[in-house]
Structure formats: C-alpha cells, structure tokens
Amino acid sequence: MDVEILSRIQFAFTISFHYIYPPLSIGLGLLMVIMEGLYLKTGNKEYETLARFWTKIFALTFGIGVATGIVMEFEFGTNWATYSRFVGDVFGSALAAEGIFAFALESGFLGVLLFGWNRVSSTVHFIATLGVFLGSMFSAVWIVIANSWQQTPTGYHIVGEGLNARAEITDFWAMVFNPSSMDRLWHVWQGAFLAGAFLVLSVHAYYLLKGRYVEISKKAFKIALLIATAFSLLQLVSGHSSAEGVAVNQPAKLAALEGHFDSLSVADMYLLGWVDKEEETVTGLKVPGGLSFLLHQDFGEPVKGLNYFPEDERPSQVNAVFQFYHIMVALGMLMIALTVFASFQWWRGRLFKQRWLLWAFVFAVLAPQIANQAGWFAAEMGRQPWVVYGLLRTSDALSKAVTANQVLFSLIMFTIIYVVLFLLFIYLLNKKIKHGPYDENLIDKRPKQKDMAKLLNSKES
C-alpha cells in the first residue's frame, strides 16, 4: 500500500477513535452542569450524588479524549506536511485559539472538578464544572470552524504556485463565519449533547430495570430525556439547514449523499438503498423527486448530479458516502421516535412502567455514537478528492519525507494501543456503572438488625 492510503487509514482510524470521547465529554458536561445546578438550587443531596457519579465517568472519557486528541494535532504535521504548510496561515489561528481559549479552560478547571469536591465551596465547584463544560464547547467551535473552512473556504487568498502555494488569511471573521461553519457547529454540538444524554439514559434505565438506585435514577432519566428529546428534534433543523448549505457550496457532495448521477435532472430521496457506481443506479426505497422538493420545495426542479462534475472533482466512493449518510439519518429518526414516544409516556405518567422501553434505552446509547461517526464519514468522504475543497487535493497534501513503512509502523502501533485502550475503557466504564453512584464510605456497612436477629436465632437453635 502507498503512503497516501496508509496515511488516510491512519487519520480516519485515529480521528474516529478520538471522536468517541469528546462528544461524550461535551454531552456529559451539560448533564453535570444541570445536575450540579439543581443541587445548588434545591440543596437536594441526590443531585449532588448524581453530579459526582457522572463526574467520575466524565473523567474517564475526558482522559482518553485528551490523550487521543494530541495525536490528532501532531498528525497534521507528521503525515500531512504539505497540507499543514498550505492551511497553516488560516487554520493555525483557529487551532491556536482552541488551545488558548478552550482547551486551557477545560483542562485548567478539570483538576478542581475532579479533585476539588472537598476543597472548594459548592459554588466554586459549580463554576469549575461550568468552566470545563464551556471549555469543551469552545473546543468544538474552533475545531468545527477549521474543518468547515476546509469544506467551504472563505476569507483567504492564495500565495505562491504549485507545491509552494499556500492560503493566507485576509479576513478572520469571514474565515470564522464561512458558509458552513454555523450549521455544522450546531449539528456537532447537538450530536454531542445526544451522545451524553443517551449514555445517561442508558445507565439509569439499566438501574431502573435492576431496581437499583431507583429514586435518583428516575430524576437523572427525566433530565436526560428532556435533553435528548429537545436535541433529537432540533438536530432535524440543523441537519436540514446543513444539507441546504451543502447543495449550494458542495453540490458534488450532495449528489453523492443521495447517489444522484444524472447531470441535471429531478433528484430522488432514498430511505435506504444500494449504489451501483458502474451502472450509475441506486436500488432502494425512494421518494421520487424528494431531494428536489427538500431543496427547492418543488418535486420537478432539477438538481446537479455527479456526472455534472469532471471525474476528478467528485467523490469516488459514492456508495460509502451514500450509506454513511443514510445510516446517520435513519438513526436520527430512530432517536426522535424513541425520545418523543418516551416523553409522551412520561406525560401520561407511565414512563417507568414499560420495561421494553427501558431496555430500548439501555441499547440506544449506540445510536448517537454511530450517527456521529457516520455523519463525519459522510462529510469527509463526500469532500474527496479534496482535502481543502476546490483548492488542495488529498493526494497532494501528504508529507513527502515520510515513507510507507513508517506509516505502516505507526498505524500498527496505534491499532494495538487503541484496541487495548478501548477494552480498558469498556471494562472500567462497566465497573463504574456496576459500582453505582454511591461511594463505599457513604454506604452503611453495619449489619442490619433483622439479619443480626436471624443470625442469633440460628445460633441458639
């Protein structure tokens, strides 16, 4: 295999693995802020117990997120040197802002959040939690802006030619508010809230099913359900708005998302399907003219298809882009159905009486995770063959000093490390969940009176 494919696999693998964790940190951060806020407001110890419990799980996700995040920062330089030189001037300020405003905020306060429960007042601790949460939100801002600039570059000019060409910033705010950044930022934030909320739902549904920690689990479940319902629905809005942006700014990507080949014709929308690239057909369940309608509110309006674009300016992995996109949409719909139905049951006062629904929530934790991954795969593969849309090709963006063997070495190294890391993560997560929200030293270990009585009676007889 050559350097390009190995570097792409390595980047895709390391970023996918990394992206399990930051959304959980952001989402759990929101839940923790709410739980701790409720504790401050009501003084109810149960909220404090919940906040402390979720902080421990947060620590786990945050720790792995940081460790795998530094890898991403270094990989731009190690594997994508030409890209780094090209985008450094533009992308750099976003990345520097992330480090200095966002990451420093979250990591700075993290120590107080995790270890400061007994050292600072509850108000100061709440401020630390808020600081960590806001820091993680800001991180998403700068990273999404940088990525969106790669999708829809604005506010720059090109200096130099050929291999020495590079983008220089001309307008910082145009770069920040590039056409896709705000839609995508909402989409990413909300995806992260869903990841966190569904984890909370899953764990507390499990407790409810097992009859453990019932009172606090009901509280936590309701908070998380509110968030999950609201953001599942809102995700539809940001997703639609994002797709409209793609239609305008990256029409070739849009065509790939729906497997639309004909250069200028009415475009269908598929619920599910399979793309045959050779035959340029899609087999599946479709709404005829659906895509035309969504974009132009007219079933007869033509949409640019893949063949409208030169062969070397459109994504080649059409079926993969199509499938990832449809998996994301399908899971989004599933989350809406599940949360809206559960909210309805809550309103009717039977939320915790249906065991099947709770079981559904136990497993639904995977839905936002897979949807987040699939969404990014669709976005990034749909951008190909470009790494910076219309400006720099992925195949030109590589490090020229790096050999295939070196990348193979690091790819194997990361695979081994990450597999071990993931197994440890699952093991420890499971352990923390089994252990439950109460600290050992808070649990009353003295034998119960009736047990003692039984013991005494058996001795006598």
Partner 1 sequence: MATFLGIDYPTLWYLVVGAVFSGYAILDGFDLGAGAWHLFFKKEQSRRIALNAVGPVWDGNEVWLVIGGGALFAGFPVLYASLFSAMYIPFMLFLAFLIFRAISIEFRSKEEMRWWRTMWDVLYSLASILLSFLLGVVLGNILLGMSIGENYEFAGSWLEFINPYAIMVGLTTLALFMMHGAIYLLMKTEGRLFTKLTILLRQGIIFFIIMFSLTTLYTLIYIPHLSDDFKSNPALFIMPVLAFLSIANIPRLANKRKYRSAFIFSALSISMLLILVAIELYPVLILSTIDPAYNITVYNAASSEKSLGIMLTFAAVGVPLVLSYTFFVYKTFWGKVQLDETSY
342 binds partner 1 (CB under 8 A): no
92 binds partner 1 (CB under 8 A): yes
44 binds partner 1 (CB under 8 A): no
Q: How far apart are CA 152 and CA 180, in angstroms?
A: 6
- Residue with smaller CB distance to partner 1, 70 or 455: 70
CB of 368 to partner 1, least distance (A): 24
Within 10 angstroms of residue 80's Cβ, the number of other Cβ atoms is 22
- Residue with smaller CB distance to partner 1, 277 or 432: 432
Number of residues near partner 1 (by CB under 8 A):
76
Residue whose entry in the numeric block shows the structure tokens 């780094």: 84
Residues 201-240 that bind partner 1 (CB under 8 A): none
- Whole-Å CA distances, 217 to 203, 267, 357: 9, 47, 15
In this structure, the strands spanning 166-169 and 156-159 are: antiparallel
Residues 170-189 that bind partner 1 (CB under 8 A): 170, 172
Q: Are 105 and 134 in contact (CB under 8 A)?
A: yes
> Which segment (109-117, 269-277, 353-361, 452-460) binds partner 1 by CB under 8 A?
109-117
- Residue with smaller CB distance to partner 1, 271 or 424: 424
Among 1, 5, 70, 426, binds partner 1 (CB under 8 A): 70
Nearest to 130 by CA among 100, 106, 159, 155: 106
- Residue with smaller CB distance to partner 1, 309 or 438: 438
118 binds partner 1 (CB under 8 A): yes
Instruction: Show the binding pattern over residues 135-174: x = contacts partner 1 (CB under 8 A), - = does not.
Output: ------------------------x---xx-x-xxx-x--
Q: How far apart are CA 320 and CA 300, in angstroms?
A: 27
320 binds partner 1 (CB under 8 A): no
- Residue with smaller CB distance to partner 1, 63 or 284: 63
For 206, what's the count of Cα atoms within 13 Å in the CB-facing half-sphere? Answer: 14
Among 21, 109, 198, 352, binds partner 1 (CB under 8 A): 109
Angle between helices 318-347 and 214-249 (to 10 degrees): 140
- Residue with smaller CB distance to partner 1, 285 or 443: 443
Within 10 angstroms of residue 304's Cβ, the number of other Cβ atoms is 18
Nearest to 410 by CA among 120, 125, 14: 14
45 binds partner 1 (CB under 8 A): no
CB of 256 to partner 1, least distance (A): 30
Among 33, 81, 165, 230, binds partner 1 (CB under 8 A): 81
CB of 268 to partner 1, least distance (A): 43
Residues 380-419 that bind partner 1 (CB under 8 A): 399-402, 406, 409-410, 413-414, 417
Among 112, 295, 371, 378, binds partner 1 (CB under 8 A): 112
Q: Are 252 and 307 in contact (CB under 8 A)?
A: no
CB of 106 to partner 1, least distance (A): 9
Nearest to 166 by CA among 92, 82, 46: 82
> Which segment (26-34, 86-94, 267-275, 301-309) binds partner 1 by CB under 8 A?
86-94
Q: How far apart are CA 234 and CA 346, in angstroms?
A: 20
What DSSP designation does 59 have? H
76 binds partner 1 (CB under 8 A): yes
Dihedral of CA 260/268/383/328: which sign?
A: negative
CB of 66 to partner 1, least distance (A): 6
Q: CB under 8 Å to 411, separation ≥6 — which residues?
A: 6, 9, 10, 13
- Residue with smaller CB distance to partner 1, 68 or 372: 68
CB of 394 to partner 1, least distance (A): 16
* Nearest 10 degrees: Cα torsion 132, 59, 203, 220: -30
Angle between helices 366-383 and 318-347 (to 10 degrees): 150
Q: How far apart are CA 242 and CA 190, in angstroms?
A: 13
CB of 141 to partner 1, least distance (A): 14
Instruction: Show the binding pattern over residues 416-455: x = contacts partner 1 (CB under 8 A), - = does not.
Output: -x---x--x---x--x-------xxx--------------
120 binds partner 1 (CB under 8 A): yes
Among 25, 49, 79, 190, binds partner 1 (CB under 8 A): 79
Residue 269 dihedral angles phi and psi, to the nearest 5°:
-120, 130
- Residue with smaller CB distance to partner 1, 41 or 400: 400
Residue 128 dihedral angles phi and psi, to the nearest 5°:
-65, -45
Q: How far apart are CA 75 and CA 459, in angstroms?
A: 69
108 binds partner 1 (CB under 8 A): yes
